[in-house]
């Protein structure tokens, strides 16, 4: 069994997919230009805060004592958590804060463990979560919903750590996000942010919400475009090689003899010698079947040539060996310059006949 690859079909369907994605890319890009980026970044609601330590009077626990309890720590820092000095101890090494990581938080004054990353422990620290959220939010927090979320998180597609979500229920449906393992404020997400993120997802083809420009879909799209370009160039090469595409600077007319089905009646027709035989026949009101309109895929525009005429790929696909051997060819595949006399295939004879009668 031989597998015949139909390049035209591959080219056509890849082109459809690429065109749809191109349309989405243009549309989402246009709408991105209309987004209120200041609002989407949460500047209307965010309070500037820092975890840099301010001056304090209490004596801190010796860091050496802390490290004895955590010999596998990769990094330790003293930070400010709502004016409370806290040792933030990193147990796993990660390049980005959103990557899954393990931290231990210890009150630097009394040595108490601060755990926001599990529901049980967080009940004890619920007030702390509320206070961190309030510290990031310009207005007083009133009605709200609080929940601990695990990846994947719709508003934060890249985040891989447990996160506290505090829904403010304000008019923009702002949600405040706090990373549970570090007690750090992450961001505010409102309806404008969600709209912007949806457009970015469409624009960068991040359909699996990887949160990255370098996602699987964009690679597939790039590869498809490469196939499209390659198959297009190959197709163009074949068309030029088969003389179906020519650069024409100047052309002249040519008269070709048309033998009727009885071979005792010859007429003639004239057209540009570079036009296809099919176009020349139709331009001269000579009926011929051409279901695909000259696309080279239906095989209905047959004619007989009296000369030795080349065989195209479309003819090898659509005609039988016997038909080709008897000189049958497709009129959409050849130009007038290739023939001096033709005879239309028998399927067209009836229509010629009726045309003659009505004439
Ligand atoms: S018109 Fe269909 S193959 Fe020529």
The answer to whether residue 338 sits within a structural domain is yes
The answer to whether residue 297 sits within a structural domain is yes
Q: pLDDT by residue (tens digit) across 182-208?
A: 999 999 999 999 999 999 999 988 887
Tokens found for residue 106: 């210890």
Distance CA 126, CA 147 (A): 10
The answer to whether residue 230 sits within a structural domain is yes
User: Is the predicted pLDDT of residue 64 greater than 50, yes or no?
Assistant: yes
Tokens 């399927």 sit on residue: 347
Distance CA 152, CA 6 (A): 41
User: Is the predicted pLDDT of residue 1 greater than 50, yes or no?
Assistant: no
Do 225 and 279 lie in one domain? The reply is no
- Measuring CA to CA, which residue among 135, 186, 137, 134 is closest to residue 160? 186
Atom nearest to 293 CA in ligand 1:
1
Across 48-70, b (16+ Cβ under 10 Å) vs e yields eeebebeeeeeeeeeeeebeeee
The answer to whether residue 61 sits within a structural domain is yes
Do 214 and 290 lie in one domain? The reply is no
Best mutation site among 8, 280, 300 for ligand 1 pocket (most ligand atoms within 8 Å of CB): 300
- Domain finish residue from 164, 189, 214: 189
Q: Return the DSSP state at 297.
A: S
What three-state secondary structure class fits 277?
helix
Distance CA 26, CA 296 (A): 33
Do the Cβ atoms of 185 and 49 come closer than 8 Å?
Answer: yes
Distance CA 114, CA 23 (A): 50
pTM of the model: 0.62
Mean pLDDT of 248-270: 81
Do 31 and 50 lie in one domain? The reply is no
**pLDDT tier, 295 (very low <50, low <70, confident <90, very high otherwise):** confident
Distance CA 214, CA 359 (A): 68
- 152: cis peptide before it, omega within 30°? yes
What spacing in Å lies between the alpha carbon of 7 and ligand 1's midpoint?
18
Best mutation site among 242, 280, 296 for ligand 1 pocket (most ligand atoms within 8 Å of CB): 296
What spacing in Å lies between the alpha carbon of 29 and ligand 1's midpoint?
41
- Measuring CA to CA, which residue among 274, 257, 275, 283 is closest to residue 344? 257
Do 137 and 208 lie in one domain? The reply is no
Do 51 and 113 lie in one domain? The reply is yes
Tokens 């802390």 sit on residue: 66
Mean pLDDT of 314-328: 90
What spacing in Å lies between the alpha carbon of 17 and ligand 1's midpoint?
26
pLDDT of residue 46: 87
Do the Cβ atoms of 100 and 160 come closer than 8 Å?
Answer: yes
- Domain finish residue from 170, 189, 208: 189
Do 67 and 205 lie in one domain? The reply is no
Q: Return the DSSP state at 196.
A: H
What spacing in Å lies between the alpha carbon of 336 and ligand 1's midpoint?
16
Atom nearest to 314 CA in ligand 1:
3
pLDDT of residue 345: 63
User: Is the predicted pLDDT of residue 263 greater than 90, yes or no?
Assistant: no
344: left (phi over 0), alpha (psi -120 to 50) or beta: beta
Its sign, for the CA torsion 66, 77, 134, 96, is: negative
What spacing in Å lies between the alpha carbon of 234 and ligand 1's midpoint?
21
Which H helix or E strand runs over 267? strand 266-272
Do 137 and 212 lie in one domain? The reply is no
The answer to whether residue 298 sits within a structural domain is yes
What three-state secondary structure class fits 247?
coil
More confident site: 127 or 179: 179
User: Is the predicted pLDDT of residue 353 greater than 60, yes or no?
Assistant: no
Mean pLDDT of 126-153: 87
Do 185 and 116 lie in one domain? The reply is yes
What spacing in Å lies between the alpha carbon of 297 and ligand 1's midpoint?
6
The answer to whether residue 246 sits within a structural domain is no
The answer to whether residue 326 sits within a structural domain is yes
Which CA distances in Å does 87 have to 55, 61, 320? 15, 9, 83
pLDDT of residue 358: 36
pLDDT of residue 4: 55
User: Is the predicted pLDDT of residue 104 greater than 80, yes or no?
Assistant: yes
Tokens found for residue 52: 């840099």
Distance CA 303, CA 288 (A): 9
The answer to whether residue 247 sits within a structural domain is no
What spacing in Å lies between the alpha carbon of 292 and ligand 1's midpoint?
5
**pLDDT tier, 54 (very low <50, low <70, confident <90, very high otherwise):** low
Do 194 and 169 lie in one domain? The reply is no
> Does residue 291 line the site of ligand 1, with CB under 6 A?
yes
More confident site: 237 or 241: 237
The residue segments making up the domain with residue 340 are: 253-358
Q: Which residues contact 252 (CB under 8 A, 6 or more apart)?
A: 272, 273
- Measuring CA to CA, which residue among 87, 4, 25, 13 is closest to residue 51? 87
pLDDT of residue 47: 84
User: Is the predicted pLDDT of residue 214 greater than 90, yes or no?
Assistant: no
Do 184 and 194 lie in one domain? The reply is no
Report CA Rg, the chain: 37
Domain count for the chain, please give it: 3
Looking at every residue in the chain, the average pLDDT score rounds to 84
CATH number (domain holding residue 285): 3.10.20.30
> Does residue 319 line the site of ligand 1, with CB under 6 A?
no
> What length is written for the chain?
359
Do the Cβ atoms of 304 and 343 come closer than 8 Å?
Answer: yes
pLDDT of residue 355: 39
Atom nearest to 332 CA in ligand 1:
4
More confident site: 80 or 243: 80
Do 276 and 337 lie in one domain? The reply is yes
Ramachandran angles phi, psi of 133, nearest 5°:
-60, -45
Do 23 and 13 lie in one domain? The reply is yes
pLDDT of residue 12: 79
**pLDDT tier, 24 (very low <50, low <70, confident <90, very high otherwise):** very high
More confident site: 247 or 266: 266
């Amino acid at each position: 069994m031989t597998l015949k690859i139909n390049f035209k079909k591959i080219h056509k369907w890849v082109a459809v997919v690429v065109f749809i994605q191109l349309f989405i890319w243009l549309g989402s890009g246009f709408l991105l230009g209309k987004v209120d980026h200041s609002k989407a970044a949460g500047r209307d609601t965010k309070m500037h805060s820092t975890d840099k330590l301010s001056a304090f009077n209490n004596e801190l626990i010796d860091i050496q004592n802390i490290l004895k309890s955590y010999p596998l720590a990769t990094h330790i820092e003293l930070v400010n958590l709502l004016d409370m000095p806290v040792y933030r101890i990193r147990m796993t090494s990660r390049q980005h804060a959103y990557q899954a990581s393990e931290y231990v938080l210890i009150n630097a004054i009394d040595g108490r463990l601060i755990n926001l990353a599990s529901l049980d422990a967080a009940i004890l620290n619920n007030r702390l979560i509320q206070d961190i959220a309030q510290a990031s939010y310009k207005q007083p927090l009133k009605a709200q919903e609080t929940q601990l979320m695990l990846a994947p998180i719709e508003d934060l597609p890249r985040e891989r750590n447990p996160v506290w979500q505090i829904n403010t229920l304000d008019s923009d449906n702002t949600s405040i996000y706090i990373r549970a393992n570090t007690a750090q404020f992450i961001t505010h997400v409102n309806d404008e942010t969600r709209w912007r993120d949806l457009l970015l997802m469409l624009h960068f083809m991040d359909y699996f919400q990887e949160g990255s420009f370098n996602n699987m879909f964009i690679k597939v799209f790039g590869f498809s475009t490469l196939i499209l370009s390659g198959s297009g160039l190959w197709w163009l090469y074949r068309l030029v090689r088969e003389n179906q595409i020519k650069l024409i600077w100047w052309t002249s007319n040519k008269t070709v003899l048309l033998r009727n089905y009885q071979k005792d009646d010859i007429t003639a027709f004239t057209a540009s010698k570079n036009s296809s035989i099919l176009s020349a026949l139709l331009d001269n009101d000579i009926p011929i079947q051409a279901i695909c309109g000259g696309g080279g895929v239906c095989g209905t525009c047959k004619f007989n040539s009296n000369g030795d005429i080349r065989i195209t790929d479309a003819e090898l696909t659509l005609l039988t060996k016997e038909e080709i051997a008897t000189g049958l060819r497709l009129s959409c595949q050849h130009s007038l310059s290739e023939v001096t006399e033709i005879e239309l295939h028998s399927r067209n004879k009836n229509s010629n006949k009726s045309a003659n009668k009505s004439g």
